[in-house]
């Protein structure tokens, strides 16, 4: 190896290692703090070795407030919306990619335009809509809109379907398959990488959603985990180990999903429409 090429690979390495330490440090510190006692938090400063292993912080986190009830609400407002979004967006994405009829282009332009529309503009009137429907302080406002598509994911699915050969559709239709069967039996199974990638992105979004529950949920029994943690922070703001243990517990599902499906996150996302 020449001196030049050694230099070229050493410098990035040093930068990467230093950066990684800075990045991963707060994460390790969170875990370490979640295992300390209150007195230990005050004396240990920046150390990421806990020195004491108070697993009881975790059992306190689960029992000191109705953790499992909130977890159930979080699961309900995550899993059902994922199914809804994937169904509605893949259907629309397929239509925009493969059924190029009149007005399809115009409508797709509308989809792209709404991607730039901030949800906050419709936040107040949407609240009134759900208020009229008598759904305030239930989980429904956090679940139902997902079944009506979301522009960003329609766009992602369209890009994915546009990359798949159109001969597939022609062949299926010639064989007497209707359009829905063509979509359901031919295209959707082949779009598995996209479905997985979108589901993971959606999971992170719905699981950590805070604005929605903050608007719609008042009573204790419908609180989701992030909403409960925020309330917990303002009431027990000084019990650091307990707060960190709860934060770790909220993060664990995201970690598990990330490590199981690490590859799919980068494989399923394509931005270019051509082959």
Residue list 92-111, contact with another protein (CB under 8 A): 92, 94-96, 99, 101-102, 104, 107, 110-111
CB contact at 8 A, 216 and 134: no
Residue 269 in contact with another protein, rule: CB under 8 A: yes
Q: Which residue has the tokens 């949800």?
A: 119
Q: Where are the alpha helices (DSSP H) in 99-144?
A: 104-115, 123-132, 140-143
- Binds another protein (CB under 8 A): choice among 209, 223, 239, 264: 209
- Binds another protein (CB under 8 A): choice among 53, 59, 178, 260: 178
- Binds another protein (CB under 8 A): choice among 72, 190, 204, 261: 204
In whole angstroms, the minimum distance from the beta carbon of 30 to another protein comes to: 5
Residue 114's CB is within 10 A of a number of other CB atoms, namely: 14
Residue 234 in contact with another protein, rule: CB under 8 A: yes
Written as six digits, the tokens of 235 are 């009431």
- Binds another protein (CB under 8 A): choice among 144, 190, 196, 261: 144
In whole angstroms, the minimum distance from the beta carbon of 41 to another protein comes to: 6
Residue 176 in contact with another protein, rule: CB under 8 A: no
Q: Which 19-78 residues touch another protein, going by CB under 8 A?
A: 19-20, 23-27, 29-30, 33, 41-42, 45-46
C-alpha distances in Å from residue 262, one per residue of 28, 31, 219, 242, 258: 20, 22, 37, 30, 5
In whole angstroms, the minimum distance from the beta carbon of 59 to another protein comes to: 19
Q: For the chain, what is the radius of gyration of the CA atoms? A: 24
Residue 210 in contact with another protein, rule: CB under 8 A: yes
Residue 118 in contact with another protein, rule: CB under 8 A: yes
Q: Nearer Cβ to another protein, position 54 or 144?
A: 144
Written as six digits, the tokens of 105 are 């282009």
Reference 77, options 186, 224, 241, 250; nearest CA is: 224
Q: Nearer Cβ to another protein, position 192 or 221?
A: 221
CB contact at 8 A, 164 and 190: yes
CB contact at 8 A, 72 and 253: no
């Amino acid at each position: 190896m020449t001196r030049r090429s050694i230099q070229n690979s050493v410098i990035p390495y040093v930068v990467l290692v230093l950066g990684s330490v800075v990045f991963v440090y707060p994460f390790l510190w969170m875990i370490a703090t979640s295992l300390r006692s209150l007195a230990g938090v005050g004396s240990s400063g920046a150390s990421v070795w806990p020195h004491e292993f108070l697993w009881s912080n975790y059992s306190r986190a689960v029992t000191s407030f109705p953790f499992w009830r909130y977890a159930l609400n979080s699961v309900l407002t995550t899993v059902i919306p994922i199914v809804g979004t994937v169904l509605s967006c893949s259907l629309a994405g397929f239509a925009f990619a493969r059924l190029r009829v009149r007005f399809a282009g115009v409508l797709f332009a509308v989809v792209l335009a709404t991607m730039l529309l901030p949800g906050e503009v419709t936040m107040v009137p949407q609240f009134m809509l759900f208020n009229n429907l008598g759904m305030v302080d239930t989980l429904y406002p956090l679940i139902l809109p997902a079944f009506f598509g979301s522009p960003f994911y329609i766009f992602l699915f369209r890009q994915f379907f546009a990359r798949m050969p159109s001969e597939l559709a022609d062949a299926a239709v010639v064989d007497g398959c209707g359009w829905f069967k063509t979509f359901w039996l031919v295209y959707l199974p082949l779009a598995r990488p996209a479905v997985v990638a979108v589901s993971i992105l959606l999971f992170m979004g719905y699981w950590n959603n805070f604005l929605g529950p903050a608007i719609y949920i008042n009573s204790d029994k419908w609180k989701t985990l992030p909403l409960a943690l925020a309330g917990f922070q303002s009431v027990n703001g000084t019990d650091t180990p307990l707060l960190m243990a709860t934060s770790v517990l909220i993060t664990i599902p995201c970690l598990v999903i990330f490590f199981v499906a690490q590859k799919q996150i980068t494989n399923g996302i394509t931005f270019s429409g051509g082959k």
